[in-house]
């Protein structure tokens, strides 16, 4: 039920003479308690006299405060900081030969979805932009039940076995004795754990790359991480890995930029997703699969059940089978984004699990944690979690049961049909979910051991390193330097450097040099490394497509700026797909005879919130702004963050004051700027003081 505050009301709750509350006409629907009793006065509690104590019998105030005191539920232990949206999934390439799953049977078939994106380490109130893995979870509401594809924006994970997950999270979270740092891995406990557990090495390469600094939630990949199974109508099974690829392409920020964004707008990603959908710019992703059989799996130098490994796209190219479009923001953040409960164990007929030991642990853990957070085994009855197909079973009662099951029999089998009563639901041997029967066909025993090929922790980490461009490698080095510089225990730094030697000696040498340390000797891996060819698909920059779609450009103006020039540039940028934000030293700026209300005031609208900047200033205004620190920093940050800077000739004084060394991405306000604004100018980076 919704409640609306009266618009015309004496906020003191009295007329001044009779103590009566006056509520005028046009106040909206009637205010009631949670049990439907109309409320006559929501401004004052019931007292024993005007100056007397509040009376315990005031059920209105008791209910209101009681509910307020219990409004919050435990936040997620990991992935607490999240943003979500509704949309749909559409099958674009049916695969009935691979799976019987209903959502993949017909081209054009759509099912509703709810997607949630998140950081991992920080609490619900932390910033959006720290260096962190991003969660990427999608709930498909199919006609055969809910399927939850719960993964990250990185295709591999830190650990191989779920038994180590509590240790990993304890290590990455705030240190137990001091409660900091928040949402950061740059501290002793994380790197102590990571340096002692070599299986983290491949994931660390990804974590220290630009993948953990996404430009937008709309501009990052998603991965199911684990190897799953597709099961066809005849019971045949194949292994599968799931990939989400954003239509806007993968884009990242720079480290310095991400840090500054956190201070200027801690809700940067949440706001970006909400505003894009509200503005009709619906984010979308292609869903792709890599399908392979047991023979391929057995022929690889790594184990496909190892979540610290990926399958290079050069070996098995991605096949696009559908797309997801997010076109509706949540109506209520708590009811939907906060209460949505994702379970890797939610699968539908045609999709099954593999024996990946990390996946197997998640099948238990997620169900357990949802009960802890949402307080009842009936959390599936919350609207955001409800299946959109018929649900029928004999599960009964429990805390906060909201359905009203009928009939005498709450068990099966039962034989009450002889009395003419409803016997309730029955199992479906033909159409019901069946676990793939070949899971233990090799006759192996259940043991607390890992397969031999799980011991290779470095081959794919090395492949990742050699797949990056020189710029990206420099970012990885810089990230390791920053993180390890925060480690106070010297033996942890040395142990981590020893691990990096096994990845790539040049990587270790660069990191060690910036830390002022000697390169230690290599460790002795439990399993010899396998040389793997670089994979172009693992590089953001090598796959980047210049575009202004989904990007934002700021135009800095001041008194006397040319409105005609601003309008002309705005039209050109919007035609290329960019959003344009007008910025000025004052909220209202006089342009000739016209006073214009701009979108952002300069001091509160720094350039690192945008993908490119343009300066339309008079010579006098540009000279004046050289004394304005916010204006100088506006230009300097854009330059340091490798962004295009377009300007009129009269704006040069401000550019020079910012220490900008002109290059091909410092342009006039012509087509060259529109082209330069569609990407970052990485050629500029080696000469800048932004890398370790």
C-beta of residue 172 within 8 angstroms of C-beta of residue 470: no
Alpha carbon distance 459, 309 (integer Å): 9
CA 30 vs CA 23, 34, 51, 66, 221: distances in Å = 11, 12, 29, 21, 47
What's the CATH number where 667 sits?
3.40.50.880
Residue 372 and residue 298 share a domain: yes
What's the CATH number where 521 sits?
1.20.1370.20
Element (H, E) at 244: strand 237-246
Q: What is the DSSP letter of 38?
A: B
Which pLDDT band holds residue 393 (cuts at 50, 70, 90)? confident
Alpha helical stretches, state H, 265-410: 268-278, 294-299, 357-374
| pLDDT tens per residue across span 408-451 | 778 777 776 555 566 778 888 888 887 877 645 456 666 778 88
For residue 197, what pLDDT is reported? 96
User: Which one of 486, 520, 542 terminates a domain?
Assistant: 542
Residue 559 and residue 529 share a domain: no
Alpha carbon distance 415, 516 (integer Å): 79
**Stronger pLDDT, 4 or 319, i.e. the higher one:** 319
Q: Which of 5-19, 214-228, 503-517, 631-645 shows the lowest mean pLDDT across its residues?
A: 5-19
Say what percent of the chain tops pLDDT 70: 94
For residue 410 the two structure tokens come to 């709450």
Alpha carbon distance 489, 174 (integer Å): 17
**Contacting residues for 52 by C-beta, under 8 A, at least 6 apart:** none
Q: Is residue 248 part of a domain?
A: yes
Q: Is residue 232 part of a domain?
A: yes
Q: Which of 204-208, 390-394, 554-558 shows the lowest mean pLDDT across its residues?
A: 390-394
**What residues make up the domain containing 474?**
458-542
C-alpha distance across the termini of the chain, in Å? 55
Q: Which of 49-53, 65-69, 420-424 shows the lowest mean pLDDT across its residues?
A: 420-424
**Contacting residues for 556 by C-beta, under 8 A, at least 6 apart:** 583, 584, 602, 613, 614, 615, 616, 617, 631, 634
C-beta of residue 113 within 8 angstroms of C-beta of residue 139: yes
pLDDT value at 63 more than 70: yes
C-beta of residue 425 within 8 angstroms of C-beta of residue 392: yes
pLDDT value at 27 more than 60: no
SS3 label, residue 12: coil
State the average pLDDT over residues 279-307: 97
Q: Is residue 673 part of a domain?
A: yes
C-beta of residue 91 within 8 angstroms of C-beta of residue 107: yes
Q: Is residue 79 annotated as a catalytic residue, yes or no?
A: yes
State the average pLDDT over residues 343-347: 95
Residue 216 and residue 283 share a domain: yes
Residue 216 and residue 247 share a domain: yes
Which pLDDT band holds residue 167 (cuts at 50, 70, 90)? very high
Residue 470 and residue 334 share a domain: no
**Contacting residues for 198 by C-beta, under 8 A, at least 6 apart:** 457, 458, 499, 502, 523, 525, 526
Mean pLDDT (the chain) is: 92
For residue 417, what pLDDT is reported? 59
Alpha carbon distance 555, 272 (integer Å): 19
| DSSP string for residues in 81-102 | SEEEEEEEEEESS--TTT---G
Nearest to 143 by CA among 93, 102, 95, 100: 102
For residue 440, what pLDDT is reported? 52
For residue 42, what pLDDT is reported? 92
Q: Is residue 427 part of a domain?
A: no
For residue 450 the two structure tokens come to 């890992």
Q: Tokens 């509704």, residue? A: 86
Residue 533 and residue 604 share a domain: no
Residue 607 and residue 588 share a domain: yes
Which pLDDT band holds residue 46 (cuts at 50, 70, 90)? very high
User: Which one of 348, 381, 414 terminates a domain?
Assistant: 381
Element (H, E) at 619: helix 619-625
> Which of 49-63, 284-298, 373-387, 423-437 is modeled with the greatest confidence?
284-298
Nearest to 5 by CA among 24, 16, 18: 24
Which pLDDT band holds residue 13 (cuts at 50, 70, 90)? very low
pLDDT value at 235 more than 60: yes
State the average pLDDT over residues 246-265: 97
Q: Is residue 645 part of a domain?
A: yes
For residue 560 the two structure tokens come to 């006397």
What's the CATH number where 347 sits?
2.40.180.10
C-beta of residue 513 within 8 angstroms of C-beta of residue 540: no
Nearest to 551 by CA among 681, 677, 684: 677
State the average pLDDT over residues 130-148: 97
Q: Is residue 37 part of a domain?
A: no
* Catalytic pick among 79, 202, 243, 510: 79
Q: What is the 3-class SS of 137-167, one letter each residue?
A: EEEEEEECEEEEEEEECCCCCCCCCHHHHHH
| pLDDT tens per residue across span 509-564 | 999 999 999 999 888 888 889 999 999 999 999 999 999 999 999 999 999 999 99
pLDDT value at 20 more than 60: no
Q: Is residue 392 part of a domain?
A: no
Alpha carbon distance 194, 159 (integer Å): 10
| pLDDT tens per residue across span 71-129 | 999 999 999 999 999 999 999 999 999 999 999 999 999 999 999 999 999 999 999 99
| pLDDT tens per residue across span 328-338 | 999 999 999 99
Alpha carbon distance 74, 95 (integer Å): 40
Residue 257 and residue 274 share a domain: yes
Q: Tokens 């710029």, residue? A: 471
Alpha carbon distance 27, 21 (integer Å): 13
User: Which one of 501, 525, 542 terminates a domain?
Assistant: 542
For residue 463, what pLDDT is reported? 98
Buried b (16+ CB within 10 A) or exposed e, 121-138: bbeeebbbbbbbbbbbbb
Q: Tokens 């957070």, residue? A: 373
SS3 label, residue 260: helix
| pLDDT tens per residue across span 655-680 | 999 999 999 999 999 999 999 999 99
pLDDT value at 11 more than 50: no
For residue 43 the two structure tokens come to 């401004």
Alpha helical stretches, state H, 178-293: 188-196, 201-207, 255-264, 268-278
For the chain, helix (H) and strand (E) counts, in that order, are 18, 18
| pLDDT tens per residue across span 559-580 | 999 999 999 999 999 999 999 9
* Catalytic pick among 5, 34, 70, 152: 152
Assign residue 305 a region (left: φ > 0; alpha: ψ between -120 and 50; beta: otherwise): alpha
Residue 652 and residue 510 share a domain: no
Q: Is residue 158 part of a domain?
A: yes
Over the Cα atoms of the chain, what is R_g?
A: 29
Alpha carbon distance 551, 579 (integer Å): 6
C-beta of residue 244 within 8 angstroms of C-beta of residue 136: yes
For residue 413, what pLDDT is reported? 79
For residue 342, what pLDDT is reported? 97
Residue 274 and residue 174 share a domain: yes
Residue 567 and residue 522 share a domain: no
pLDDT value at 2 more than 50: no
- The distance from CA 578 to its chain's CA centroid, rounded to whole angstroms, is 23
Residue 566 and residue 494 share a domain: no
State the average pLDDT over residues 187-199: 96
Element (H, E) at 589: strand 588-591
Alpha carbon distance 640, 686 (integer Å): 11
Within a 10 A sphere around the Cβ of 390, how many other Cβ atoms?
Answer: 8
Q: What is the DSSP letter of 602?
A: G
For residue 138 the two structure tokens come to 């999608």
pLDDT value at 651 more than 50: yes
For residue 377 the two structure tokens come to 């085994």
| DSSP string for residues in 563-584 | HHHHHHHHHHHHHTT-EEEEEE
Number of domains, the chain: 3
For residue 243 the two structure tokens come to 């990939």
For residue 524, what pLDDT is reported? 83
């Amino acid at each position: 039920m919704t409640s609306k505050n009266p618009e015309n009301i004496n906020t003191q709750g009295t007329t001044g003479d009779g103590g009566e509350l006056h509520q005028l006409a046009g106040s909206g629907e009637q205010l009631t308690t949670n049990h439907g009793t109309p409320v006559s006065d929501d401004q004052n509690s019931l007292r024993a006299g005007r100056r007397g104590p509040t009376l315990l019998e005031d059920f209105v105030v008791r209910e209101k405060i009681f509910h307020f005191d219990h409004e919050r539920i435990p936040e997620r232990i990991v992935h607490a900081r999240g943003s979500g949206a509704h949309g749909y999934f559409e099958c674009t390439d049916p695969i009935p030969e691979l799976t019987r799953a209903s959502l993949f049977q017909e081209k054009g078939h759509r099912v509703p979805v709810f997607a949630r994106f998140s950081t991992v380490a920080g609490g619900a109130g932390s910033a959006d932009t720290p260096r962190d893995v991003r969660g990427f979870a999608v709930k498909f509401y199919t006609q055969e039940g809910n399927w939850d594809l719960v993964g990250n924006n990185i295709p591999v994970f830190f650990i191989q076995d779920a038994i180590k997950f509590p240790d990993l999270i304890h290590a990455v979270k705030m240190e137990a004795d001091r409660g900091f740092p928040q949402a950061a891995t740059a501290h002793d406990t994380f790197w102590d754990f990571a340096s002692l557990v070599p299986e983290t090495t491949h994931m660390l390469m990804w974590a220290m790359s630009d993948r953990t600094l996404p430009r937008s939630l709309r501009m990052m990949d998603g991965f199911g991480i684990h190897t799953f199974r597709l099961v066809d109508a005849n019971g045949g099974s194949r292994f599968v890995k799931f990939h989400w690829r954003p239509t806007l392409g993968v884009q990242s920020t720079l480290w310095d930029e991400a840090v500054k964004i956190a201070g200027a707008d801690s809700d940067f990603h949440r706001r970006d997703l909400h505003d894009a959908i509200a503005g009709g710019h619906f984010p979308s992703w292609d869903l792709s699969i890599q399908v392979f059989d047991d023979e391929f799996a057995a022929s690889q130098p790594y184990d496909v059940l190892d979540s610290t490994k990926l399958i290079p796209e050069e070996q098995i190219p991605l096949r696009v089978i559908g797309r997801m479009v997010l076109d509706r923001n949540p109506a209520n953040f708590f009811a939907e984004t906060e209460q949505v409960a994702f379970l890797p164990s939610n699968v539908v007929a045609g999709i099954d699990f593999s024996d990946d030991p990390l996946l197997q642990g998640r099948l238990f853990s997620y169900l357990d944690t949802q009960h802890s957070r949402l307080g009842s085994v009936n959390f599936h009855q919350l609207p955001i979690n409800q299946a959109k197909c018929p649900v029928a079973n004999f599960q009964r009662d429990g805390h906060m049961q909201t359905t009203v099951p009928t009939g005498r029999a709450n068990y099966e089998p039962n034989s009450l049909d002889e009395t003419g009563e409803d016997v309730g639901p029955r199992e479906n041997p033909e159409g019901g979910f069946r676990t793939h029967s070949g899971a233990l066909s090799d006759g192996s025993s259940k043991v607390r051991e890992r397969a031999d090929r799980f011991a290779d922790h470095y081959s794919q980490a090395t492949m990742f390193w050699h797949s990056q461009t020189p710029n990206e490698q420099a970012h990885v080095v810089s990230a390791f330097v920053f993180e390890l510089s925060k480690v106070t225990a010297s033996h942890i730094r040395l142990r981590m450097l020893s691990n990096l030697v096994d990845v790539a000696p040049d990587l270790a040498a660069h990191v060690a040099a910036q830390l002022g340390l000697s390169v230690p000797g290599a460790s002795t891996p439990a399993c010899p490394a396998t040389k793997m060819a670089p994979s172009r698909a693992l590089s953001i920059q090598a796959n980047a497509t210049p575009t202004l779609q989904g990007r934002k450009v700021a135009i800095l103006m001041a008194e006397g700026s040319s409105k005609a020039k601003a309008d002309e540039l705005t039209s050109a940028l919007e035609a290329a797909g960019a959003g344009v934000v007008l910025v000025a030293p004052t909220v209202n700026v006089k342009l000739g005879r016209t006073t214009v209300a701009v979108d952002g005031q300069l001091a509160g609208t720094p350039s690192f919130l945008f993908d490119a900047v343009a300066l339309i200033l008079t010579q006098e205004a540009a000279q004046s702004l050289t004394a304005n620190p916010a204006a100088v920093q506006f230009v300097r940050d854009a330059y340091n963050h490798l962004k295009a800077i377009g300007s009129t000739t009269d704006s040069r004084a401000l550019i020079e004051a910012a220490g900008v060394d002109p290059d091909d991405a410092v342009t006039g306000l012509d087509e060259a700027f529109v082209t330069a604004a569609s990407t970052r100018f990485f050629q500029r980076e080696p000469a800048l003081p932004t890398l370790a």
